A and B are shown apart, each in its own frame.
Chain A
Amino acid sequence: MSETLLKVDNLGITFGGLKAVQKVNMYLNRGELVGLIGPNGAGKTTMFNMLTGVYAPTEGSIVFGGKSIAGLDPYKVTRQGISRTFQNIRLFKELSVLDNVKVANHGLAKHNLLSSIFRLPSHFKGEAKMEEESLAFLKIFGLDVYKDELAKNLPYGMQRRLEIARALAAGPKLLLLDEPAAGMNPQETHDLMELIAFIRKEFNLTILLIEHDMHLVMGICERIYVLDHGQLIADGTPAEVRNNPKVIEAYLGEEVTE
């Protein structure tokens, strides 16, 4: 029995009168790769936003590594060890590829404001370490050749990869990927799957993945949670979820019957 990294109990949020997510219970064990699926508007991204502190849940609890993180500011959540990518890419467009990763590495650096302003030795040491670490992340993702390019000039697939590289640079224990394969062609998706499997091993990560691409989710996830209308309707192994009548009704529908 492996150790629980994230435990979500009875989580819910309402916007005005709208119950976007309610009574969600889920857990992630250390080292797992878990999928979160559901039709459009099911509340998947809202779940991510609550897990990362963008929204404060109106009820329930989120315990990460033994600490309650519900309602914590996003940057504090990140420093606890949860890092994410965005469904609609949110890179720092006017910054270079390398600087994008360096920004995420920020929380791990120690040199303070005064040492940077007065250019003390600790500044140079700290910046050199950031540069080295950031380059290492770029290398893993095959982005080191583009390091001086502005992020906005990268091709779409590369931008998606850069987002994951950036999320990794924040030093997470838990990585949340919001539709990492959206808009990618089958070859790119395949490469991405291998990459996700690789970084998971390499960095000892736990990964929660939102994805529309059923092939990807069923292929690499060990367990799957299914959301519909803000509520969990099923969870289990890919095979169990695939055969769950509720899931078929809510989401998979035609795909499974064909």
Chain B
Amino acid sequence: MKKSKAFWGYIVLALVIYAVVQVLINSGVLNMYYQNMLITMCINIMLAVSLHIIIGITGQFSIGHAGFMAVGAYLSAIGTMKLELPFVSAIILGAVVAALAGLLVGIPTLRLKGDYLAIATLGFAEIIRIIFVNIEYVGGAAGIQVRHQATWTYAFFAVVITILVIANFTKSRHGRACIAIREDEIAADAMGINTTYYKVIAFAIGSFFAGVAGAIYAHNFYIIQPTTFNFLKSFDILIFVVLGGLGSLSGSVVAAIFLTVVTTYLQGFPETRMIIYSLVLILVMLYRPKGLMGTKEVTDLFKFGKKGGSKA
């Protein structure tokens, strides 16, 4: 009962955030510039949280996340532009194919560990990108034109669903199994956990939501090109997760919001942008070596308060 109460609390909180922003947009306080920043923020949160389930929860160091984002972006673009599907169906199409790509990549590579897995996933992401460069149907290197259909509403609800699914997954026997794999794979195996199955499942769920993020990303601009999804994009996503604190969902969210804001404001200083961005990263890692949130969640802060209260 208590758990479902907390659940509805989060839903109400999400609706309030949505309503406030929507009112601000309608009243014209938030212009196109800020709306675009908010949508980018939502996309980055989805990317961060979807990589969090792979790296932070399951402990599989995958650095090819942009590849799955690309699959979602391209497939959804094909959906709306070539197949004339409605936007929502196109998002689902992109996400499902991205999840399938995740399975296809995950099943052979998840036998690898650590650095080797990282290199393999990076390689696969590049392969995915190069496949799109060479398919004329989607415009090759020039890219594919997409209608602008992503709005704050789509982006926000996609984020809420992403976070809900991944938080629910994490707080269940399935999520615990994944964390056990992260902590000690041999022991997890010895306790009756099918480690391969859970690694692949985490990878597929992560890829699915990277696909959703990619689909919304594609429809937030008028054109998508393969170069957008190169390994630098993968590293951007990795930075969100690491900076937020490995293993912390709210950390990934906070880091994604923080870095989106930093990047957006730094666009005004093109000469020094990358220097300042790097400095911010270095400073955060110096003062918060375990990431912004460590392994804690925002909700842990409230829990401590409650505990103290009940004891007193």
A binds B: yes
Q: Is the Cβ of A94 less than 8 Å from the Cβ of B183? A: yes
What chain B residues lie within 8 Å of A52 (beta carbons)?
Answer: 190
User: 15 A-B pairs, CB-CB below 8 angstroms?
Assistant: A52-B190, A79-B192, A83-B190, A90-B187, A93-B184, A102-B173, A102-B176, A103-B180, A103-B193, A106-B177, A107-B193, A116-B174, A117-B165, A117-B169, A130-B173
Q: Is the Cβ of B192 less than 8 Å from the Cβ of A90? A: no
What chain A residues lie within 8 Å of B173 (beta carbons)?
Answer: 102, 105-106, 109, 111, 116, 126-127, 130
Q: How does the 8 Å CB contact mask read for A102-130 relative to B, with 1 for contact and 0 for none?
A: 11111101010100111100011011001
Selecting from A10-18, A29-37, A70-78, A231-239, the interface stretch reads: A70-78
Size of A's binding interface in residues, CB under 8 A: 38
Q: Is the Cβ of B168 less than 8 Å from the Cβ of A78? A: no
CB distance from A248 to the nearest CB of B (A): 34
What chain A residues lie within 8 Å of B187 (beta carbons)?
Answer: 86, 90-92
Chain B residue nearest to A126 (CB atoms) is B173
Q: Is the Cβ of A75 less than 8 Å from the Cβ of B172? A: no
Q: Is the Cβ of A92 less than 8 Å from the Cβ of B180? A: yes
Known: A52-B190, A90-B184. A95 touches B176 (CB 8 A): yes
Q: How many angstroms between the C-alpha atoms of A119 and B5 in the bound complex?
A: 13
Q: Is the Cβ of B295 less than 8 Å from the Cβ of A75? A: no
Q: How many angstroms between the C-alpha atoms of A124 and B180 in the bound complex?
A: 21
Q: Which of A54, A74, A119, A167 has the most CB of B within 10 A?
A: A74
What chain B residues lie within 8 Å of A86 (beta carbons)?
Answer: 187, 190
Chain B residue nearest to A78 (CB atoms) is B192
Q: Is the Cβ of A103 less than 8 Å from the Cβ of B247? A: no
Chain B residue nearest to A130 (CB atoms) is B173
Q: Is the Cβ of A73 less than 8 Å from the Cβ of B192? A: no
User: Chain A interface (Cβ within 8 Å of chain B)?
Assistant: 52, 54, 73-75, 78-79, 83-84, 86, 90-95, 99, 102-107, 109, 111, 113, 116-119, 123-124, 126-127, 130, 166-167, 170
B194 within 8 A of A: yes
What chain B residues lie within 8 Å of A124 (beta carbons)?
Answer: 3
Q: How does the 8 Å CB contact mask read for B165-208 relative to A, with 1 for contact and 0 for none?
A: 10011001111110110011011111111110000010000000
User: Which of B3, B176, B186, B201 meets A103, CB within 8 Å?
Assistant: B176
User: Chain B interface (Cβ within 8 Å of chain A)?
Assistant: 3-4, 7, 165, 168-169, 172-177, 179-180, 183-184, 186-195, 201, 247, 295
What chain A residues lie within 8 Å of B191 (beta carbons)?
Answer: 75, 78, 83, 103-104, 106-107, 166-167, 170
With A92-B187, A94-B247, A111-B173 known, 15 other A-B pairs at CB within 8 A are A75-B189, A75-B190, A75-B193, A93-B183, A103-B176, A103-B180, A103-B193, A106-B192, A106-B193, A109-B173, A113-B201, A116-B173, A127-B172, A166-B191, A170-B191
What chain B residues lie within 8 Å of A106 (beta carbons)?
Answer: 173, 176-177, 191-193
What chain A residues lie within 8 Å of B175 (beta carbons)?
Answer: 116
What chain B residues lie within 8 Å of A113 (beta carbons)?
Answer: 169, 174, 201
Q: Is the Cβ of B180 less than 8 Å from the Cβ of A119? A: no
CB distance from A119 to the nearest CB of B (A): 6
Q: How many angstroms between the C-alpha atoms of A126 and B165 in the bound complex?
A: 18
Chain B residue nearest to A108 (CB atoms) is B192
What chain A residues lie within 8 Å of B3 (beta carbons)?
Answer: 124
Q: Is the Cβ of B172 less than 8 Å from the Cβ of A116? A: yes
User: Which of A90, A109, A116 meets B186, CB within 8 Å?
Assistant: A90
What chain B residues lie within 8 Å of A123 (beta carbons)?
Answer: 172
Chain B residue nearest to A92 (CB atoms) is B183
Q: How many angstroms between the C-alpha atoms of A95 and B179 in the bound complex?
A: 8
Q: How many angstroms between the C-alpha atoms of A73 and B190 in the bound complex?
A: 9
